[in-house]
Structure 1
């Protein structure tokens, strides 16, 4: 694939940024089915949040072009081939992962309306409606903003300049793959959809990983690429579930139970499959200290904020204290990873537990230092559920730099979940 020529020739009209409703992360569809079943009447608002305010999205991206891309997404529906893949494929060893009632609804879905407004140098982009409908905007909205920013930087480049840029970026990715190839026992997947440089680039990265790493490459979170390239679709659940369940809690006692209610519903939904705990929404240590005994039997834990080594140590000790053998469990690292950290964590923990990696932005959007003023450097853009049935959502995280929500609610959640002092870490992506 000659990405540079595609980029130069289409001047952004040949390729829509989002090509399909399944150009999204696998965990979004898994969560969507759970929400469709368990919380079908919940009204949720999602909002775009640019943590890197030094990137002036509204000055870089034309509002008309942004609306054109968002309106195109609203025109999309599942194709027959996509529906057949979701209905008939085997995911995580299970056939018919997606139930018929959910698929019938999904096959008729068109994404609901959006609200877009320019506020200074940033865009306010929100989505309101039934949870299982508006939640599917998240990944698409992020991918559109990220790629339009890339296009704004690349738009004035000539043919040869683009060829050299992509040659350098491809060389960088391949050099990373060559280093990863030498790591014994590596298990790594692409988690880079939400903040990718662009769809074509993510697709290229997945193909490079597949060729360069062989069986060490376990798949991609992107459903469309997984289907087209015949690799595994990877993913389970995310912070969105406990954030919304917690916002719906009637009192402090219900709030304290909410993160475990999420996983109880998840267990029932998937009949014991996909049993990976994401414990850091309101602090990993507190979550594990008060977790019911049945959670210790789950397959593993995903470490997604804070110091990754410290998070793994907490998980291993928790399993040991609960009479579980950590060597039979899995720790999945997925926060801000690059090759050096992957190698370090593999060496530190692979003899103590099963280790996997979800490699995101620094796989699919590492153009650091390749253009003047570092104008293609990745930045931290998120789209989060900010309210549920009119109540604000809160995320604390193991890194207070990632906390979100009204100050009084953050204080309340810290009290309820007994969150003490936390170490502040830079949010890279």
Structure 2
């Protein structure tokens, strides 16, 4: 096992680059990339970094030259032979050859496109523009770089023994959480913590701890690189990016209303089984389900990623019942701001009603709250989103208005088209 504290103390990033591989990313990004490669390869998209936590002055904390070095390093990466073999030959969700030969040939020749970086006050403006399949693969590594450089900026002020104690306390905290999770019967939980992790080495440690501490209750990790090296399942399906871009491409209100279902029709044609998970909250869960075609009710389950998770899960249960489906046979994946107490609460509330699963993210892989002065390592809310598609702005409404994004005029239009009324604001944890 890696001595993380010593690696941090002896840091030379050329030995420990933040992003080590093009598959040091979330599995759903590769699944979505293949779908985009097949269905919308010519779409031109702009991704942009968005720091929701404005009190974190990233440009003051992170040296611009070091940030550029890390981003340039990512642009030098390509798939290794072993990584290509794993993607081509491994079984994912019971399916062999998940990734088609034409997609793999393209991916094997890929280098990520250029970036635009500019300091604006105490924040960085970081954008990526180009064809959708290429540009979308910047999202996760860009976030990983910013998050870890912020961690390194704080850790750089600490001494060797102080680092040893910090990581000992952090490891104890993670292990105590794992011990608490052991008490939950029939638990199903995965690591979803790549995008806002403390560091790569720390996420890798957390995955190993989950493997040992939870056994079969630990179902895998969203991180492809770690899944490959630790021989665990790669977990993931799709994300808000798909409906956001499809919606931005819509020519009128009727096409806009249909766009979220067009996304899933394309997905339906490509995947089956446990990959058929609905993410319904991009433009409001209730309206999405009320207007959903009957064939969607036959899908495996849904992922709950914003708003009140209990309300969203009950909305899904009621919808399945109204469509003649048995909710107890459906999977509900909770994935928004989870920690042990909320996992326990939701598991108890929905036991026997649905097959509850949990995607545990930032508060697994980046919970250093209260462990350094001024809480300087506390996690914060940083995202990298598609903000334009073929020149049109993208919009996300969410079930939580605090997560909404896009020009206000377009937000108002989307609310009208999708019938979204007043929403209860929830604190954005991460």
Mapping for residues 113-192 of structure 1, pairs under 5 Å? 113-192=114-193
Mapping for residues 285-300 of structure 1, pairs under 5 Å? 285-300=286-301
Given that residues 210 and 217 in structure 1 are in contact (C-alpha distance below 8 angstroms), is that contact kept between their aligned partners in structure 2? yes
**d(CA) in 2 for partners of 1:365 and 1:90?**
30
Q: What is the DSSP-based 3-state SS (H/G/I as helix, E as strand, rest coil) of the residue aligned with 1:123?
A: strand
Mapping for residues 356-367 of structure 1, pairs under 5 Å? 356-367=357-368
Asked if 1:241 corresponds to 2:242, the answer is: yes
Q: TM-score, normalised by structure 2?
A: 0.99
Mapping for residues 343-354 of structure 1, pairs under 5 Å? 343-354=344-355
**d(CA) in 1 for partners of 2:368 and 2:173?**
9
Q: What is the DSSP-based 3-state SS (H/G/I as helix, E as strand, rest coil) of the residue aligned with 2:303?
A: strand
Given that residues 12 and 151 in structure 1 are in contact (C-alpha distance below 8 angstroms), is that contact kept between their aligned partners in structure 2? no
**d(CA) in 2 for partners of 1:107 and 1:365?**
31
Asked if 1:109 corresponds to 2:110, the answer is: yes
**d(CA) in 2 for partners of 1:124 and 1:153?**
21
Q: What is the DSSP-based 3-state SS (H/G/I as helix, E as strand, rest coil) of the residue aligned with 1:376?
A: coil
Q: What residue number does 2:223 align with?
A: 222
Q: What residue number does 2:418 align with?
A: 417
**d(CA) in 1 for partners of 2:102 and 2:206?**
35
**d(CA) in 2 for partners of 1:375 and 1:10?**
20
Shift of 1:271: 4.8
Shift of 1:14: 2.2
- Relative to structure 1, the CA distance from residue 272 to residue 357 in structure 2 (aligned partners, 3 Å threshold; closer, same or farther) is closer
**d(CA) in 1 for partners of 2:271 and 2:99?**
10
Q: What residue number does 1:269 align with?
A: 270
Q: What is the DSSP-based 3-state SS (H/G/I as helix, E as strand, rest coil) of the residue aligned with 1:47?
A: strand
Given that residues 273 and 300 in structure 2 are in contact (C-alpha distance below 8 angstroms), is that contact kept between their aligned partners in structure 1? no
Shift of 1:273: 5.4
Shift of 1:269: 1.6
Deviations 1:180-233 (A, max 9, x none): 011001000000000000000000000000000000000000000000000000
Q: What residue number does 2:279 align with?
A: 278
Tell me how large the CA RMSD over aligned residues is.
0.6
> Which range is displaced more, 39-48 or 266-275?
266-275
Given that residues 49 and 125 in structure 2 are in contact (C-alpha distance below 8 angstroms), is that contact kept between their aligned partners in structure 1? yes
Q: What residue number does 1:206 align with?
A: 207
**Regions of 4+ moved over 6 Å:** none
Mapping for residues 65-104 of structure 1, pairs under 5 Å? 65-104=66-105
Given that residues 220 and 232 in structure 2 are in contact (C-alpha distance below 8 angstroms), is that contact kept between their aligned partners in structure 1? yes
**d(CA) in 1 for partners of 2:319 and 2:222?**
28
Q: What residue number does 2:400 align with?
A: 399
Q: What residue number does 1:15 align with?
A: 16
Deviations 1:2-49 (A, max 9, x none): 100000012544200000000000000000000000001000000000
**d(CA) in 2 for partners of 1:198 and 1:21?**
16
**d(CA) in 1 for partners of 2:273 and 2:261?**
15
**d(CA) in 1 for partners of 2:153 and 2:311?**
39
**d(CA) in 1 for partners of 2:324 and 2:96?**
32
**d(CA) in 2 for partners of 1:181 and 1:218?**
14
**d(CA) in 1 for partners of 2:87 and 2:293?**
33
Given that residues 333 and 356 in structure 1 are in contact (C-alpha distance below 8 angstroms), is that contact kept between their aligned partners in structure 2? yes
Q: What is the DSSP-based 3-state SS (H/G/I as helix, E as strand, rest coil) of the residue aligned with 2:275?
A: coil
Deviations 1:393-428 (A, max 9, x none): 000000000000000000000000000110001101
Q: What residue number does 1:318 align with?
A: 319
- Relative to structure 1, the CA distance from residue 272 to residue 185 in structure 2 (aligned partners, 3 Å threshold; closer, same or farther) is closer
Given that residues 267 and 273 in structure 1 are in contact (C-alpha distance below 8 angstroms), is that contact kept between their aligned partners in structure 2? no
**d(CA) in 2 for partners of 1:111 and 1:299?**
34
**d(CA) in 1 for partners of 2:273 and 2:176?**
39
**d(CA) in 1 for partners of 2:346 and 2:128?**
38
Deviations 1:81-131 (A, max 9, x none): 000000000000000000000000000000000000000000000000000
**d(CA) in 1 for partners of 2:295 and 2:100?**
26
Q: What residue number does 1:28 align with?
A: 29
Shift of 1:371: 0.2
Deviations 1:118-152 (A, max 9, x none): 00000000000000000000000000000000000
**d(CA) in 1 for partners of 2:68 and 2:184?**
44
Given that residues 169 and 367 in structure 1 are in contact (C-alpha distance below 8 angstroms), is that contact kept between their aligned partners in structure 2? yes
Given that residues 61 and 148 in structure 1 are in contact (C-alpha distance below 8 angstroms), is that contact kept between their aligned partners in structure 2? yes
